[in-house]
Amino acid sequence: MNCEPSFSMVNVNMKKRVSYPIKFFSLIFLSFLLLFLGVAGGFLFQKLKAEKKILKAKERQNIEILRRIANDDVKSVALDLFFLSVHPVLHQMIDNTIPVAPQKLADDFLAFCSNSGRYDQIRFLDKTGMERIRINFNQGQPYIVPEDKLQNKVKRYYFADTFAMEPGRIFVSPFDLNIEQGKIEQPLKPMIRFGTPVVNLTGQKQGIVLLNYLGTKLILKLKEELPDSMDSFMLLNTEGYWLKGESAEDEWGFMYEDRKDLTLAKRHPEAWKEISTQDEGQFVSDQGLYTFTTVWPLGKSMLSSSGSSKAFQASTAALSGKKYYWKIVSQVTTEKIKGLKSAIFLSWLPYLGIVFIFILLASFVFAMALENRKQVLKERIERERLQGVLEMAGAVCHELNQPLMGVSGYSELLLLDTLKDTHQYETIRKIKGQVDRMGIITKKLMHVTQYKTKTYLKGHIVDIDAASDE
């Protein structure tokens, strides 16, 4: 007998039994996974949103700190200038009341320069533009410039603009680079000049006191006060030129003929449009998150001018109040924002991994539980079906048993009335034998109806004789 069909059926059944748990597992796992991804995605989105909100708040706070530092520094320079402009020895000198006044004033200016440490030059220029006293900071080794080294600055814009002012007012030059002997000083020396007219006892202008404030000191101070959460900042003038930029090559473009296009307005016009038209603000562009504020260095009694990048060129316009300002700008690049997203994801990755493994195991447990439940239900249905079949078989056997008993009884009577060793006798005996055998079978089948149906569900071949003996 060929057994191949049986093995084929077994393989098919085995494949079905294996495929069902896999299907259950796949459905449950995918359902849980989609739910998990939705919840995790929503959580990470809210977390990123909160982190961005914190980042924006920190950037605004940091920029405000830098603005206050810059404003306070300018105010303190104005106070120093006022102190020096009313120095008693200075007025003794211009009124020629004490012969030794020039030397005494130079000594006092030298001490002041040494103690302050933030002025590259402290000067008194007479009304002709001639330097009468000049102190050079000399990189921390200040000295009094000899008389034969003093220069006439009458053609410099800062002298003309300062001397033209009313007494008591302060001139603040543009933030630019220092020029010596008609050339930009090397190494570069960023400078802001603060000047005020000096008058004699009759109120006549006799010259100006001029402080060359080291702009590098201001930039370094801003860097030192830079909060840990802030990487860097940019300092821009009114035209969008970098006074302090991300790269030194971008800085001071207005001082060089070949760098006139090095402005934020040219490089990122949309960003500059936002920054230049508002006092402060925050916005997102293709370059990242910009945060900015405006520094107004000029107080009520201060004026400035357009200045000049040429040594002996006059300024073209006076500037006051809102026309003279610097912009402090911070930029969080798009790459850094992407890095923030990655950092948040990586920080939560271990927890997400644990949840993922839990979902995997839970899906497997649920799938096996469902498969077991399905098998139990299937066996129960099959058992009930077989039980019904067996009960029906029992009823049929019961109905057959009575006629068979009658036939068996009649056969017995016929055998008594028939001669042995005759053809009729053998025929009746065989009929009775078959009827008795049939009766035995029906009785056994009736016993089988009481047999445990789980044996059939396991696919075993049933031995009726053995089943009827239980």
Write down the pTM of the prediction: 0.68
Are 330 and 284 in contact by the 8 Å Cβ rule? The answer is no
Are 188 and 32 in contact by the 8 Å Cβ rule? The answer is no
The span from the CA of 99 to the CA of 229, in Å, is 57
What is the per-residue pLDDT across 348-377, written as a single tens digit (0 to 9) for each? 778 778 878 888 888 788 777 877 888 888
Give the model's pLDDT for residue 389: 72
Checking if the pLDDT of 3 tops 50, the result is no
**Alpha helices by DSSP H, 121-189:** 157-163
Instruction: Give the highest mean pLDDT range of 200-209, 298-307, 451-460.
Output: 200-209
Beta-bridge partner residues of 207: 126, 198
Confidence of residue 9 (pLDDT cuts 50, 70, 90): very low
The mean pLDDT of 48-59, rounded to a whole number, is 89
CB-based contacts of 205, cutoff 8 Å, min separation 6: 127, 163, 167, 197, 198, 199
What is the per-residue pLDDT across 91-133, written as a single tens digit (0 to 9) for each? 888 887 677 788 999 999 999 999 999 999 999 999 999 999 9
Tokens of 89: 């020895």
Checking if the pLDDT of 310 tops 60, the result is no
Are 160 and 153 in contact by the 8 Å Cβ rule? The answer is no
The residues spanned by each domain of the chain are: 361-466
Using alpha carbons only, give the angle 9, 14, 18 rounded to the nearest 5 degrees: 150
The mean pLDDT of 26-47, rounded to a whole number, is 81
Are 342 and 334 in contact by the 8 Å Cβ rule? The answer is no
The mean pLDDT of 263-273, rounded to a whole number, is 94
Q: Which of 242, 234, 252, 134 is nearest to 188 (CA)?
A: 252
The span from the CA of 433 to the CA of 436, in Å, is 5
What is the per-residue pLDDT across 386-430, written as a single tens digit (0 to 9) for each? 777 767 776 777 677 778 777 777 777 777 777 777 888 788 778
- Write down the mean pLDDT value for the chain: 82
Please give the sequence-ordered ranges of beta strands (E in DSSP) within 38-178, or none if there are none. 119-126, 131-136, 143-144, 170-172, 176-177
What is the per-residue pLDDT across 273-294, written as a single tens digit (0 to 9) for each? 999 999 999 999 999 999 999 9
Checking if the pLDDT of 145 tops 90, the result is yes
